[in-house]
Amino acid sequence: PWADIRVFDTVDSTSNWVKSQQQSPLVCLADQQTAGRGRHGQLWDSSSDENIYLSFGWEFDEPPAHLGLLGLWIGVVVAEVLEKQGMQGHGVKWPNDIYWQQQKMGGILIEASNLSSRLVVGIGLNVNMAEASDIDQPWTSVSEAMGRSVDREQLLIALLDALFTSMVEFPHVAVKEFKHRWNLWDIVRGQQVTFFEGDEQVSGIPSGIDDSGHLLVKLESGAINAFNTSIRKVRW
């Protein structure tokens, strides 16, 4: 399905490389990144060559009205691939972090390409990484979650396959149906979460997503508000 796949031993960031190219669809994979990026300008530890660092460029013929759900959609696709590989007990932490037992295993970064209306989707997944120096939160890996070492190539192939199919499918998905699917993987539902709204700290209990993919949170006042800023803290 993917016609163009470029594989690097080392690159600054697979997402940067895809951004620098014209064509799409286009995939970039690397064993290591020297400047891996996470969301909010954070660094993505990319020193281990036992992980997946994957980016692809994609241009929709017509951007779907529910484009705001794409990041959540990709999270669900990754979670489903891992399930097919035999993993259990994992899920997606809104908006698009892959978690297992309250530890982060992977993350997704969606950016607009500077060259066109193309989107660049970056996925980082800890596969067989045993140690890391640059991660400031509890983390895990696919191999830890599965209790065995994992064939990175085989996982990559399964992931690339599912991603291509799901990108073709995405414009046609019904939002209501997706919300059901999301609910199966949502791990923050029912937990106590904290946000910052400007300087103000807001706490509440997530209860799913709205049609734009924003997180619905039941506040202490009983009101349900939609949030689209990161969760600062989850009390698991």
Name the nearest CA neighbour of 126 among 181, 13, 15, 50: 50
Residue 44 touching ligand BTN (CB under 6 A): yes
User: b or e along 182-219 (b: 16 or more beta carbons within 10 Å of the residue's beta carbon)?
Assistant: beebbbbbebebebeeeeeebebbbebbbeebbbbbee
- CA angle at 84 for the pair 74 and 151, rounded to the nearest 5°: 95
Which is nearer to ligand BTN, 51 or 166 (by Cβ)?
51
Which is nearer to ligand BTN, 43 or 219 (by Cβ)?
43
Among 109, 110, 142, 163, contact with ligand BTN (rule: CB under 6 A): 109
Count of CB atoms situated within 10 Å of the CB of 150: 20
CB-based contacts of 77, cutoff 8 Å, min separation 6 = 162, 163, 166
Residue 36 touching ligand BTN (CB under 6 A): yes
Report, in Å, the least distance between residue 111 CB and ligand BTN: 9
Among 78, 79, 81, 108, contact with ligand BTN (rule: CB under 6 A): 108
Near ligand BTN in 196-225, by CB under 6 A: none
Select the span of 31-39, 59-67, 77-85, 131-139 touching ligand BTN (CB under 6 A): 31-39
Select the span of 50-58, 76-84, 166-174, 197-205 touching ligand BTN (CB under 6 A): 50-58
Q: How far apart are CA 208 and CA 186, in angstroms?
A: 8
Residue 15 touching ligand BTN (CB under 6 A): yes
Among 24, 55, 113, 140, contact with ligand BTN (rule: CB under 6 A): 55
Helix, strand or coil for residue 138? Answer: coil
